[in-house]
A and B are shown apart, each in its own frame.
Chain A
Amino acid sequence: MDAYPPKQNSEGLPVFHARGLSKTYRMGEIEVHALRDVDLDIFEGEFVVLLGPSGSGKSTLLNILGGLDSPTSGEAHWRDHNLVGATDAELTRYRREHVGFVFQFYNLIPSLTVLENVALVNEIADKPLDPLEVLELVGLENRIDHFPAQLSGGEQQRVAVARAIVKSPDVLLCDEPTGALDYETGKVVLAAIARANERLGTTTIIITHNAAIAGMADRVLRLGGGRIVSEECNSHRLSANEVHW
């Protein structure tokens, strides 16, 4: 089994290091193999796209990397954190200190304004950024006092991106960030994610079934049937404006 280290820009040790990851669910009589023996290394500052159709295992992989789920077998580390067999409290601390999440459905807190949604995460972060600056980064400096219900989907997702990066996480995990958005809005959100990756150097992993996004990544891992079926490295990353679907 080949591991999938980046072929070109590998520098030092990987931040994510996984070997032999497998995940099996039981659904009644049927055993579903969501992941089969996956090996993976992701390096600091990398922009990685996990591409695959639904059922390919990409969400399961992201959940394990994000400390939301544990594999049936195999090992997964984030730096010196063992993500397998960690307690709920340890995983919570891992997410709190190191991970930023962007959800497909934004998951903003409806009772908080844009600024407050971002500031919410600041309350549990060690080295947070200024929420206003982050909102400027995603282009929402003029909407800070609006409630989520008063925003468009794209705007809500940009708030979610701002909320994810305000604590300056080490890794940004995005689950179908454009899945619920139209083309134009989706591109604005991708631009915001890319900008965070570039400016803050945040290791970024996006899972998507939208192959067009692949061009923006340093590295693209295609998943199918619970395995990584191929890996591509882009020598030139496209900007959000340059991708089309």
Chain B
Amino acid sequence: MSMLDRKLLRDIGAMRGQVLSIALLVASGVAVFVGSVSTYESLSSAVSRFYETARFPQLFVTLKRAPLSIVPQLNTIPGVATIEPRIVREVIVDWPATSQPVSARMVSLNHAGDERLARLHLRRGTAPEPGSARSAAVNEAFVEANGVNLGHEIRVLLNGKVEAYHVSGVALSPEYVYAVKPGLPIPDDRLYAILWVDRSAAEAAFDMKAAFNDAVVSLAPGADPKPVIDELDRLLEPYGSIGAVAQRDQPSNRFLEDELNQQKVMSTTIPFIFFGVAAFLLNSALGRLVSAQREQIAALKALGFPTSALILHYLKLVLVIVLIGSALGIAAGWGFGTAMIASYQGFFRLPELHFGLTPWSAMLGTAISLTAASLGVLTALRQVVGLAPAVAMRPAAPLGFRRSWVEALLPRTVARSRRLMILRNTAGRPFRSLLTVAGVAFAIPMMVLGIFWRDAINEMIALQFNLVERGNTMVTFPHPMDRSIMRDLAREPGVLVVEGQRIVPVRLRAGQRSYLTSVIGLSAGDQLRRPHDTMLRPIAATPDGITLTRRLAERLDVKAGDVIAVEAMEGRRRKRDLPVSAIVDESIGMASYMEIETLNRFTDEGDVVSAASLYVDQTMTSALVRKFKNLPTIESVSMKAYTLSSFMEKIAGLVFVTAGILAAFATIITVGVVYNSARISLQERAWELASLRVLGFTRGEVAGILFGEFAIEIVLGILIGLPLSHAVIGLIARFHSNESFQIPAVIAPQTYFIAAAVVLTAAAVSAYIVKGRVDKLDLVAALKTRE
């Protein structure tokens, strides 16, 4: 081993605290990068694999009823490869274990689960065999949420009769990776099941002999879906088709794609913010470390070591630090990704969702860190190596301290010598101070990013469930009912307010853009569902137009005043052009609103309602819901509190993991920056501080002078970090918003407070560690020759 390598090893040993803290900076950048990229890749490849093996269809058609005899004609549409006709119905499940009504989607199977399209992946048991009338495969999410086992009986209400099905298998389907009940914004696995039954069983249950009401389609390679959709719609319109939709608008896939996009954005934006910060800090911290060795470097040069040997020596130092950091980072990224994937497992039902580390992300992460660190070292080395050895061997020229303009602002009584020392040291080394300020300023948004989700979710809930949907119970009817049913509902015990709504599936078109959604018909004075404009003022649906949520307006690229084509997808399927009367802000879903009378005139169905929003006395809710469960006129009942809590439970895991990781990294950044700066400052100023101790200053006073500088920088960093958080969150919220959820960029004051408190604590702990060394300053050395 060469002597220089021996020096390297000893330097690393002596500077282990600094080496470790810089390595941790590298580790945090690499961890977030590797963790997010790998999470994205794992999720994305699990989805692709499942879609491929399970033959996920490309088009989805829902209709009223069509004879199977039409299928061969559909097969001849140019571009269609396979078509699988099915019977799909929403049914009510008699599930005494919960007080809430449980519903299910019953889906027919043509080939015992081994379908030509949307094939089942069986976790356990088997799919119902052809001809088996009383067995069903059930989706895994429902089975897990309700503790169902093979052989259990599931009782379904069919035309007023109860029919029992035995659970023959537990299955996953590419159509229900994320199974959300139609009309609900968020899934609730406890209350919604997917039941797959043999076609014969479905035919008997729904009186659909030789008929179908749903079809999934795959396209020939390279076929354009648009003309196929148009042709399918044309041919199936007489059979009550509500319009074919492409993969993009298949509910489970839409949510999955949105989440994948979000994860993709996260895997590219957040790590790069992180990497940028880590690289900058790494660069500066290593630069300082090298500058602190300037006399050694000069001595080595004077002894005849060539510059290249010295550069190599310090690059080896970088390599050691970066390799330690990358190894830690890859391990932490693995843990982070595994935790993320584990929390996704509750959300997305995929047969093989495992975390796998993406090798290129680990290599790229290491390479980026290595580059940033090498640049920092080379910059610092260039300054030192460029000096004549004789010059470099002397301590660096004292800083040209001068009075700063800040001092002029201080009252004389405040301008005491110690405070001036602190002030001038901060101002006299602006770039160095900048390092600490920047580190802290970046740590704050990291921290805020970790915990702001709670604020965002609270805000979403506040907006959606406290401002817009103010009822606590929602019921839907199996078909449009006469408005007189409202009077019946109002008489039920505990019902304080009831308001009828008409919900009609519609296709909205504006130029080339179209979107399949629902329009909600509201009465002028409705209190329980109140759309709010972008200023969060409640507005009523106007009788002469349609009101769109902001995200929907963006998707259609329209603004208030523009005219769009509205096509009802049920009943007589009328079409009409309507002006956009207002844009409203909602955080969940992409709904539209019309005045109910206008809507009913448009659909030509008289004064009907299809759903009702209720405000029910809290103490009476359970009894009422139990009663509603058994009313044939009520298709579904949902309770806000129940839906919300189930959603929060699911999302809590993800939020918790993200918050934990980001908080850990914010802490690492703060500690890394503060500890390193403090160590190097102490190294440079040990002589000065020891002199003060000799002059009679106490340990505390001397530490105060050293850390006063950091206190200023940390406070400045926090002051910059708070508005910076706001900007970062604005960006992140924008990137993360999708059609399912619009993330509001709100940060609660306590979030800022927590972020600042964590950063302050991390800084204080770093300072405390360094203070141990301040206490052990060698006083006698201060009297001796300056090194």
Contact = CB atoms under 8 A, between A and B. Distances in A.
B699 A111 contact: no
Given A107-B688, A149-B401, A117 B783 contact: no
Nearest to A167: B696
A103 B785 CA distance: 10
Interface in B742-787: 779-780, 782-786
For chain A, which range describes its interface: under 10, 10 to 19, 20 to 34, or 35 or more residues? 35 or more
B62 to A, nearest CB: 77
Interface string B689-708: 00111111111010000000
A185 interface: no
A107 B782 contact: yes
A85 interface: no
B424 A111 contact: yes
A63 interface: yes
Contacts, number: 90
A105 B421 contact: no
Contact of A105 (B402, B416, B699, B786): B786
Interface string A110-131: 1110001101111110000000
Contacts of A122: 417
Given A105-B786, A107-B687, A68 B780 contact: yes
B683 to A, nearest CB: 16
A69 B696 contact: no
B688 A103 contact: no
B779 A68 contact: yes
A88 interface: yes
B421 A63 contact: no
B537 interface: no
A88 B699 contact: yes
B416 A123 contact: yes
Given A59-B783, A105-B786, A110 B398 contact: yes
Contacts of A63: 780, 783
B422 to A, nearest CB: 9
A120 B696 contact: no
B425 A175 contact: no
Interface in A20-62: 59
A109 B783 contact: no
A230 to B, nearest CB: 25
Interface of B: 398-402, 416-418, 420-421, 424-425, 428, 687-688, 691-699, 701, 779-780, 782-786
Contact of A69 (B692, B699, B701, B780): B780
Pick the most buried of A92, A109, A147: most chain B CB atoms within 10 A of its CB: A109
A95 B691 CA distance: 12
B225 to A, nearest CB: 72
B415 to A, nearest CB: 9
B395 to A, nearest CB: 11
Given A69-B780, A109-B688, A89 B698 contact: yes
A95 B695 contact: yes
A148 interface: yes
B697 A124 contact: yes
Contacts of A89: 698
A209 interface: no
Contacts of A119: 416-417
A123 B783 contact: no
B691 A107 contact: yes
Given A96-B698, A109-B688, 11 more contacts: A68-B779, A92-B699, A95-B696, A103-B691, A107-B694, A109-B421, A111-B399, A111-B425, A119-B416, A120-B421, A149-B398
Nearest to A163: B695
A148 B696 contact: no
B401 A111 contact: yes
B704 to A, nearest CB: 12
Contacts of A124: 695-697, 701
Contacts of B691: 103, 107, 109
Nearest to A97: B696
A92 B783 contact: no
A99 interface: yes
Contact of A112 (B399, B421, B786): B421
A66 interface: yes
Contacts of B416: 119, 123
